Structure 1
């Protein structure tokens, strides 16, 4: 695929293809749902499952023994059900549970007027008893205004149960149009008219104090009436199925769950390069500025795509190198290591992009990265001051290579590691003292120069346990 610059036009085709890759389903995918009996006509109601911890559910109307909908999974939207105007108690049970079992949740009496068209959004945490974030069903009577030709009428719902009140920045230009939207609130029955047929950038900010949280790039929205529902858990990884995302629901069902834009953190690990800025290739759009050796940049979020990046010297702006990223995927986080020598064509400046893939365990997880441009292939192992024992996943790593992306599980506590040339146990090139804490997830980046060409050889430990990540230098013993 040809590399793309940061332009809206170039993203359109990519985002359309990315729907399946980012966990989106199309309108015709019913996810195994089954529709039950008709219960009349004169009004319409559908159910959107937007509760990340509820599991698949069966939907009942009290007094009717057959489910109206069966096996509705998270992010699915049921078809509009026709029913008589009247009063209903909608009940939810775990998928497959007996119709006579106690419901997991029931709405209590809700009045469905004649000619009403209602979207019912299941939201909140089913496992919570806290009224601030507990499970509920949000009822939205549909009465969208006509947005005009070429537009979508978008109704935004804040259904993310662990997120605070948010500000919404349509266009992601730093100026939120919606100053504060409380949890479980929405933007109004009329809908907001937004351009259809083109991707849309959306920034999400914490409302008070105003602080950027994340951003999204929608697929090209169809014309018509759209619900855009913030759902999932802000506390989970963006790549996770229950991570914070935007659920797009159109007239015929779920359009897709839109994951957060990819996040990049750039680590300067080039021994002889001065402080640098990183710009979108061929432009003056600066992504990050004045990053020195050993420093980790602030979080950068970009739309999913491949990019050309210009790395320039902060003082004076001379070009160090133009580098290409891989395809950056929605929902993912990347450590981008800038290494090589700025002045040696044999070990020229380059980037080493690493997708964060750490597994789930309470033992410390470490991924070793060889980013020292003049060091040979190495083995990394346990060293007690006398004996070196290689750790197999950390062995035979050449420049630009790394160990398994899910990390290698190590015991918590103090640990001295040694570095040797591949296949040897002596001499020890360097040793480092580490303190590995329970739950740690870290990149151990071997960086600097062995031959004193700029910054000396060392480890840079990038702690990815919490976000944003932190970097600390570990000098050799």
Structure 2
């Protein structure tokens, strides 16, 4: 799993002096001369030099570098001797006899490391449909078998148990923008989530994993998505999907804490009742630890699923002997003009259920018990005098005068401390401006 987490997405431009935007305009149905086939070559052998390709002793491709596609070219039907050699030489590194059938469309992939370089061949279905067509090819020699799923590791499986040299069949999916999760085969644990993958109706895609997981070479694992329409050279860049996560120290009598993400320290010395601000992390299931600051003593630990492009707050709550996480998804949609959004959370461990009211007794949030919370609720922008009352009574336990809600800001107010606490642990309220912390 640690090797799998070395996945780095790197995308290079296509060669042959054709713009990567070339296939992003008009989709052309391939037109073949009768009796001929369409064939392209993709160089996916990570440590092999640029190559030349020969067909029946005639050079047809020159200086094709790792990661590049030659684009489709016509070949006469019949038996062909295909030779791949290092660019500028004639010594074969791959020699194969391929029977070309009229009207076929093929891609020949040079895969594996240089000492074990070999060819695998896919038959390409380049007839467009009303949906997007996608297939997956596993060309990373040291990567284990994987599943490709929609959204996260619990999502629907598009391609299952794809091991090295697997060429999955095309599938049709509705047009849209997808988040694709890569998991070890048979597992729900996301290795990486690829975000905002645009799949357009009428387009045909080959998604290929290549490179290595080893940190000891210069060929990092990468994923490239070729568009098979038209000349078959252009590609769609992917990105690692992220999420924003804010950690709030809301345990009144807990010491300062350090935060670890997958055992890497991402924050130190967080004290009650402060927060980290939003941390931008990779989406997916992440291991979160809250340690007593400066020590390896873990107070909270959990594997938490953070969906792509969503915002979360993780509150460390309760008294120190019972400290636990409260994980909330933050809806940071911008309020309408003249409005602000406000959420209330009850995080005072020994306080009973409360109402949040105006001074005239109007209840804004009613009967909120410990660890309960409201949704973000719209209010007119302005200044409010608020009161915290015992639920269902007129007994005021806390005055909150002059709470200013600015136009189009988003707020979280949480009750903090102990009922009879003193100093920093006294009963009170803490205000977080969510979109200010995020920098919106």
TM-score, scaled relative to structure 2: 0.52
Partner of 2:162: 181
Q: 1:113 aligns with which of 101, 106, 129?
A: 101
Q: Deviations over 1:313-341 (max 9, x none)?
A: 3438799xx9x9xxxxxxxxxxxxxxxxx
Q: 1:73 aligns with which of 51, 56, 65?
A: 65
Deviates more, 1:118-127 or 1:262-271: 262-271
Q: 2:178 aligns with which of 200, 203, 207?
A: 200
Equivalent pair of 1:154/1:226 in contact (CA under 8 Å): yes
Partner of 2:122: 140
Cα offset, 1:175, TM superposition: 3.4
Asked whether 1:167 is paired with 2:147, we answer yes
Q: In 2 relative to 1, CA 52–254 (structure 1 residues): closer, same or farther, beyond 3 Å?
A: farther
**If you compute each CA radius of gyration, which structure gives the higher value, 1 or 2?**
2
Distance in 2 separating the partners of 1:278 and 1:287: 18
Q: In 2 relative to 1, CA 318–92 (structure 1 residues): closer, same or farther, beyond 3 Å?
A: closer
Asked whether 1:248 is paired with 2:225, we answer yes
Partner of 2:268: 269
**Structure 1 segments unaligned to the other structure (5+ residues):** 1-20, 33-38, 128-133, 325-452, 454-477
Distance in 2 separating the partners of 1:28 and 1:69: 10
Cα offset, 1:217, TM superposition: 2.1
Distance in 2 separating the partners of 1:22 and 1:215: 14
Partner of 2:3: none
Partner of 2:112: 124
Distance in 2 separating the partners of 1:298 and 1:111: 55
Partner of 2:205: 226
Distance in 2 separating the partners of 1:90 and 1:286: 45
Partner of 1:291: 290
Q: 1:153 aligns with which of 109, 123, 133?
A: 133
Q: In 2 relative to 1, CA 168–139 (structure 1 residues): closer, same or farther, beyond 3 Å?
A: same
Give SS of 2:41's match: strand
Q: In 2 relative to 1, CA 212–275 (structure 1 residues): closer, same or farther, beyond 3 Å?
A: farther
Q: 1:215 aligns with which of 166, 183, 193?
A: 193
Distance in 1 separating the partners of 2:161 and 2:304: 24
Deviates more, 1:53-62 or 1:173-182: 173-182
Distance in 1 separating the partners of 2:279 and 2:267: 17
Q: In 2 relative to 1, CA 28–70 (structure 1 residues): closer, same or farther, beyond 3 Å?
A: closer
Distance in 2 separating the partners of 1:286 and 1:84: 51
Give SS of 1:104's match: strand
TM-score, scaled relative to structure 1: 0.48
Cα offset, 1:303, TM superposition: 8.6
Residues 65-464 of structure 1: pairs in structure 2 closer than 5 A: 67-95=59-87, 97-98=88-89, 101-106=90-95, 108-127=96-115, 134-143=116-125, 147-148=129-130, 151-175=131-155, 177=157, 178-188=159-169, 191-196=170-175, 198-207=176-185, 211-223=189-201, 224-236=203-215, 242-250=219-227, 251=229, 252-256=232-236, 258=238, 260-261=240-241, 267-273=266-272, 291-294=290-293, 310-315=313-318
Cα offset, 1:62, TM superposition: 3.3
Higher strand share: 2
The alignment of Structure 1 onto Structure 2 pairs a total of residues equal to 275
Structure 1 vs Structure 2 CA RMSD = 4.5
Distance in 2 separating the partners of 1:140 and 1:59: 17
Distance in 2 separating the partners of 1:57 and 1:93: 5
